[in-house]
């Protein structure tokens, strides 16, 4: 199964998806990485792993979000991509792209959804006095950070945790969860 990963930044989840997809019995392969930010850290990581790494900046499209997405979608079609995995892709998607990839687009979110959709999840979890945090892989639907849950991983929140410390602990869990959830999803579909 041919997978594309969309990123905007560091791409640590992207790297774990690529690595797992390159193992012998992997049910999927990451064939292209696309960033909306030129020079995003993940692009170099993808290229180093032998994966095509492309940039489609949103800026030239101005307010026309859908035109930007159509440019991305054309690249996905050319490469025969079957599943799209969002991994720190920091653009809201239009109903057009979500509809086009309905049931074939996954996202990872750094909270135990339905808790804390949106940004600053770790600060909010600490502030609320939660004893655990985590991450969720889900199917992308029109509502932000909604959609059927494919898997979750939990980590403890320790006394004295800052959002950064907690983010790091959750990230480690993300790197295990996302490739597993994607592989399970591909095997079932």
Helices 163-188 and 12-21, packing angle to 10 deg: 30
- CA torsion 11-138-147-156 (nearest 10°) is -100
> What letter would DSSP give residue 136?
E
One symbol per residue from 131 to 170: x for binding ligand GRF (CB under 6 A), - otherwise; what is it?
Answer: ----x-----------------------------------
Q: Which is nearer to ligand GRF, 4 or 108 (CB)?
A: 108
**Does the annotation flag 107 for ligand binding?**
yes
Question: Do 145 and 118 touch, CB atoms closer than 8 A?
Answer: yes
Neighbours of 165 (CB within 10 A): 14
Q: 105 among the known binding-site residues? A: no
Please report how close the Cβ of residue 78 comes to ligand GRF at its closest, in angstroms.
Answer: 25
Where would I find the H helices in 2-108? 12-21, 41-48, 65-78, 95-100
119 marked as part of a ligand binding site: no
Distance (Å, rounded) from C-alpha 142 to C-alpha 159? Answer: 36
Name residues whose C-beta falls within 8 Å of residue 120's C-beta, 6 or more positions apart in sequence: 163
At residue 130, the 3 state secondary structure works out as coil
Interaction between residue 13 and ligand GRF (CB under 6 A):
yes
**Residue 68 is a catalytic residue:** no
Site string for ligand GRF, 53-92 (x = CB under 6 A): ----------------------------------xx----
Size of the site for ligand GRF (CB under 6 A): 15
Q: Which of residues 86-125 bind ligand GRF (CB under 6 A)?
A: 87-88, 108-110
Q: Specify whether the CB–CB gap between 97 and 66 falls below 8 A.
A: yes
Tell me how far, at minimum, the Cβ of 33 lies from ligand GRF, in Å: 11
If binding is defined by CB under 6 A, does position 12 make contact with ligand GRF? yes
Stretch that binds ligand GRF, among 2-10, 23-31, 92-100, 180-188 (CB under 6 A): 2-10
* C-beta nearest to ligand GRF: residue: 88
Our CB check for ligand GRF shows the closer of 6 and 183 to be 6
Q: Which residues participate in the annotated binding site?
A: 11-13, 65, 90-93, 107
């Amino acid at each position: 199964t041919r997978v594309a990963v969309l990123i905007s930044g560091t791409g640590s989840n992207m790297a774990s998806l690529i690595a797992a997809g390159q193992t012998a019995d992997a049910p999927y392969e990451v064939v292209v990485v696309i960033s909306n930010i030129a020079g995003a850290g993940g692009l170099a990581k993808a290229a180093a792993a032998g994966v095509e790494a492309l940039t489609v900046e949103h800026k030239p499209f101005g307010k026309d979000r859908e035109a930007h997405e159509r440019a991305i979608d054309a690249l996905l079609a050319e490469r025969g991509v079957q599943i799209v995995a969002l991994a720190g892709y920091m653009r809201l998607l239009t109903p057009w792209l979500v509809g086009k990839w309905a049931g074939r687009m996954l996202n990872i979110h750094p909270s135990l959804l339905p808790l804390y959709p949106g940004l600053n999840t770790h600060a909010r979890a600490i502030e609320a006095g939660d004893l655990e945090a985590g991450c969720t892989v889900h199917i992308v639907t029109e509502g932000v950070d909604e959609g059927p849950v494919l898997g979750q991983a939990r980590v403890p929140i320790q006394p004295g945790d800052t959002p950064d410390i907690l983010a790091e602990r959750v990230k480690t869990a993300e790197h295990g969860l996302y490739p597993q959830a994607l592989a399970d999803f591909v095997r079932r579909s």
